[in-house]
Amino acid sequence: MLKCDVLVVGAGASGSTASLMLSKMGYNVIAIDKASRIGGFTNPKIDITESELPDGSKLDPILKELQIKPLKIFNESVWHSRNESFTLKSDVYDFYFKRGPTKDSLDYQLMRIAINKGCDFWPKTEVVKFNFNNGNIEEVILRSKRKNILIKPKIVVAADGSFSKCRKLAGIKELKSYCLEGFGARLKGKIFQETWVIFDSEFAPGAYIYGGSINNESFIGIVIDNQITRKSSKEYFNFNKKQNDFFRKFENSKILNLFGGKGKYGIIENLVKENLILVGSAGLLNDPFMGYGVNHAIFSGYKASNATIDNLNNEEKLNKYENFYKENFLSYFKKAMKTREIFKKLNNKDLDFIIRALSYITEKNAEGLKTVIEVIKAKPTSLGALNILYMFSQFLS
């Protein structure tokens, strides 16, 4: 039987971060992934994530410690509805990361550094079963290259995505969740300097369209809420190509590759169960409103590695990791979930109202904002519009 200090299940951003941090401290780490290569099954894509977490924690010092640099750092974005728009220059910068199997991707770089620090990486390997003893995972049965392997880890870090098998095997329930699905394209040529975000209840029901550029390539994608439409994000992507003026800006661009995926967002009952600790999407640690995940993935992998080190060194309980999230993030996640429930009911008239109001806020247009307030008092467009307006104004302030 093989033994290790830590078994990390999943080699995405969160699992690779945890693997790197633990390996460089000298622990015996085995990281596994179902994919045949670092970077998983996805085609290359660009992910945008905020440089700051909801509790005010900064990603910069963590990236510096990990020896990782974003491909682009920018703080200007253009927000659109059907008939309104405003430009935001934020104090919180956006980080651009390549994802997927290429050597310049975040996933590849993190795991490559982890391997160089001593991490043992096993591709084409997945968890079959946990054997428990008094609630602890005593043994893990893995399936690798058509053979079962028995391994005895001291701690298991579950980083196997939002549809986590580890979470299921441990019997950890979802308290509330929903799915967002995305589809998009990488394109040749630089089309935009800033990030574009478009809200449209017809073209992107319950979510948004986004686009941007990095180096000499651009990207465009669509995100939809699976609870309010039976059509796939790919179908909406093709629909937008035919009907949406924004997509026509890209119609003559060469497609480098298409990408897509689905993620689950919400709240689960536990992030820690005895010697099992859930990170990234496995713990549903993503932004429940916009779906941002990379910053949460890196941050949770980093925090989980710190808790794991304290446990292995000083026998401190892993629960300090869960307690941190409950104290600093849970109220935000709950608020964002409620806001999402409202948001997906909004029509384009509501969205126009919100974007127009936000343009007044960002421009500090007192007269315009006064007009909006008068409209609210006289005849609110909807309860949802007011709640979303409040959330965004808090975000911008």
Domain termination residue (choose one: 242, 263, 284): 263
In a domain, 227, yes or no: yes
pLDDT of residue 146: 85
Residue 307 and residue 162 share a domain: yes
| Residue 226 and residue 109 share a domain | no
Whether residue 29 is found in the same domain as residue 103: yes
120 or 363: whose pLDDT is higher?
120
Same domain, 194 and 50: no
Neighbour-count burial for 216-233, b at 16+ CB within 10 Å, e otherwise:
ebbbbbbbbbbeebeeeb
- Asked if residue 90 is part of any domain, the answer here is no
Judgement on whether residues 384 and 303 belong to the same structural domain of the protein: no
Choosing from 288, 308, 334, the residue where a domain stops is 334
What are the pLDDT digits (tens) for 109-127? 999 999 999 999 999 999 9
Is residue 223 within 8 A of residue 179, CB to CB? The reply is: no
Is 272 contained in some domain?
yes
Question: 141 with 276, same domain?
Answer: yes
Question: What's the angle, vertex CA 397, arms to CA 98 and CA 368, rounded to 5?
Answer: 115
Identify the CA nearest to 212 among candidates 49, 396, 77, 51.
77
Of the three residues 228, 263, 298, the one that is the final residue of a domain is 263
Statement to judge: residues 117 and 154 lie in one domain: yes
pLDDT digits (tens, 9 = 90+) for 221-280: 999 998 888 899 999 999 998 888 888 878 889 999 999 999 999 999 999 999 999 999
Q: Is the pLDDT of residue 1 over 60?
A: yes
pLDDT value at residue 379: 46
Which range has the top average pLDDT, 56-70, 77-91, 336-350? 56-70
Query: For 322-351, what is each residue's pLDDT tens digit?
Result: 999 999 999 989 888 888 888 888 889 888
Q: For 249, left (φ over 0), alpha (ψ -120 to 50), or beta? A: alpha
Total residue length of the chain: 397
Predicted TM-score (pTM) above 0.95: no
* pLDDT tens, residue by residue, 130-141: 999 999 999 999
Same domain, 127 and 51: yes
Both tokens assigned to 148? 């079962």
In a domain, 374, yes or no: yes
Q: How does pLDDT run across 10-47, given as a tens digit for each residue?
A: 999 999 999 999 999 999 999 999 999 888 767 899 99
Residues 294-313 as b/e (b if ≥16 CB within 10 A, e otherwise) read bbbbbbbbbbbbebbbebbe
Measured between alpha carbons, how far is 357 from 345 in angstroms, rounded to an integer? Answer: 19
Into how many domains does the chain fold? 3
The whole domain housing 238 covers: 177-263
Could you tell me if residue 312 is inside a domain?
A: yes
Establish if 86 belongs to a structural domain.
no
